[in-house]
Structure 1
């Protein structure tokens, strides 16, 4: 029975016949080839999973509206002691899968099937360069760390994908944050591009250009840990569970990517809720929402006090339905693209 880990056989020149050859092949990839692989994967992924992202945003927008109504009721000293989040669509009763399905049907019937792809242009404009920067910088940084610390001839340690993933994701988040905020605003309501442009101009005039990075703290708090967890789980599964140090097959990439994305999404979802609350307020003239009053940590605590643990996991079902296939599709396409480029590079040398 074959072992899961590849056997490393030292040769006369001190190299090893498995991991060293694989890492050499990995290093032969150019930044442009990595960028092309990631951009193709990002395009395919965005087209497939945007409807799930729209539904998740709508559900979280309902939660935010309920919290605003609850705050206004408190000011009026209402005697009603109900939790509005339950009335916002059933998040309080834990039936998020049913709520997700109902939102799909409702949007399709009342706004048309195309509403499920609301914000697709800014999504593509955000995802393609964002994933390009993210996956390319992660891959380059990971290879650099492996070379720098002498892990060429053996498996990389767990800290390498953790550090590379968090740094790469932080860089990508800062670059694409304005586009993500626009996408979130379009998905939360049925906005025209003209209405969105007016809201954007109003926001810049009142709050300055720094407002384009509204929610960046929550985004980084969500995305940097997500990437660290994702890449740590993915690389561990790929290397040890399947014994594939560099060139996993498409099924292996798909399984590892979906599993890693699921774990990372569950852990970081509360920060996704906070990010959505903040970004929906772009251009709002009322300024009375919960997201406009509190900082990230305080807003998270406020949501928890008002709605309990279920509140900070609002929209987790559609997010998991989106993240798991998105991670699987993205990493499979990315790895497939890199494999093709490696084969192309090797063919040029022969």
Structure 2
């Protein structure tokens, strides 16, 4: 089937890409702080996530200046612009195919969100690996293309797919849980709010609630994913054991505060912008 720029799935891709660009640029510093917190050595263990977050933030600004907070934004853009576009276009296509004009229930929303994230996550995993390495501060890559070339030459192509299991265990449940809570809370809003000029703000609030819940549930998988991608010789099971031996159960929630802030705000903004843009071009999201 021939696709054109007028095809609804292409429009959904473009709306998703633009929404992802805005949210990535705004919240990249939180992602960098989260990655630095998760890759701290045992002897540098912060007393709490809040203290650790502030300490890492000030340390980055002091040693790498203010622009250092946006380190890794290039691979973030390379990942997010097509990645969020793929996610939303897949979500839109699946929804139109299986649900057409009716709204999905709670289980349907979980399957839609999880299915769309699986496709986008697998496709964009190599860039996700590079992004994590940029942010952790242990690698001296000069560009995304150079980093991809370096990994392929020194570690093999398989290293670009390190952390696949942990990534899917993190992203698929997050997206499924997020879409479920988001769609259900939005559907429970009074009709006068949904049809009013304040609808985007109400939708954004629903997105924040959904994002907080989904972030907390999937935080341990994010911690494991970061360790595997920064240390490609480490298997998922080894990372799980290492984190527990080093920090106990609380170790799986290191970096939870900046991650929850970033993922929640990014998801809420991306969905709000996506839905407003889809409505503007006359498509039902």
Does 2:206 correspond to 1:277? no
Matches of 1:308 and 1:218 in 2, distance apart?
19
Matches of 2:117 and 2:269 in 1, distance apart?
18
Q: CA RMSD in A?
A: 2.6
Q: Report matched runs for 1:316-331 at 5 Å.
A: 316-331=256-271
Paired position in structure 2 for 1:183: 131
Matches of 1:179 and 1:244 in 2, distance apart?
43
How far is the alpha carbon of 1:334 from its aligned partner?
Answer: 0.7
Paired position in structure 2 for 1:233: 181
How far is the alpha carbon of 1:49 from its aligned partner?
Answer: 0.4
Q: Report matched runs for 1:110-125 at 5 Å.
A: 110-125=63-78
After TM superposition, what 4+ stretches of structure 1 lie above 6 angstroms from structure 2?
Answer: 195-199, 244-248
How far is the alpha carbon of 1:302 from its aligned partner?
Answer: 3.4
Paired position in structure 2 for 1:140: 93
Judge conservation of contact 1:247–1:339 (CA < 8 Å) in 2.
Answer: no
Judge conservation of contact 1:215–1:275 (CA < 8 Å) in 2.
Answer: yes
Pick the structure with more helix per residue: 2
Paired position in structure 2 for 1:105: 58
Q: Deviations over 1:303-336 (max 9, x none)?
A: 2233112101110011112112111211111111
Paired position in structure 2 for 1:88: 44
Does 2:276 correspond to 1:336? yes
Paired position in structure 2 for 1:260: 210
Matches of 1:198 and 1:336 in 2, distance apart?
37
How far is the alpha carbon of 1:252 from its aligned partner?
Answer: 1.8
Q: Report matched runs for 1:293-304 at 5 Å.
A: 293=234, 295-304=235-244
Q: Deviations over 1:242-298 (max 9, x none)?
A: 45999792112211111111111100111111111011125xxxxxxxxx34x3244
Matches of 1:329 and 1:129 in 2, distance apart?
17
Q: Which runs of 5+ in 1 are unaligned?
A: 1-27, 67-86, 283-291, 346-350
2:247 aligns with one of 307, 321, 333: 307
Paired position in structure 2 for 1:32: 10
Q: TM-score, normalised by structure 1?
A: 0.73
Q: TM-score, normalised by structure 2?
A: 0.88
Judge conservation of contact 1:234–1:256 (CA < 8 Å) in 2.
Answer: yes
CA distance 1:163–1:191, change in 2 (3 Å): same
Q: Deviations over 1:173-205 (max 9, x none)?
A: 111111111111111016543488776545424
Judge conservation of contact 1:97–1:317 (CA < 8 Å) in 2.
Answer: yes
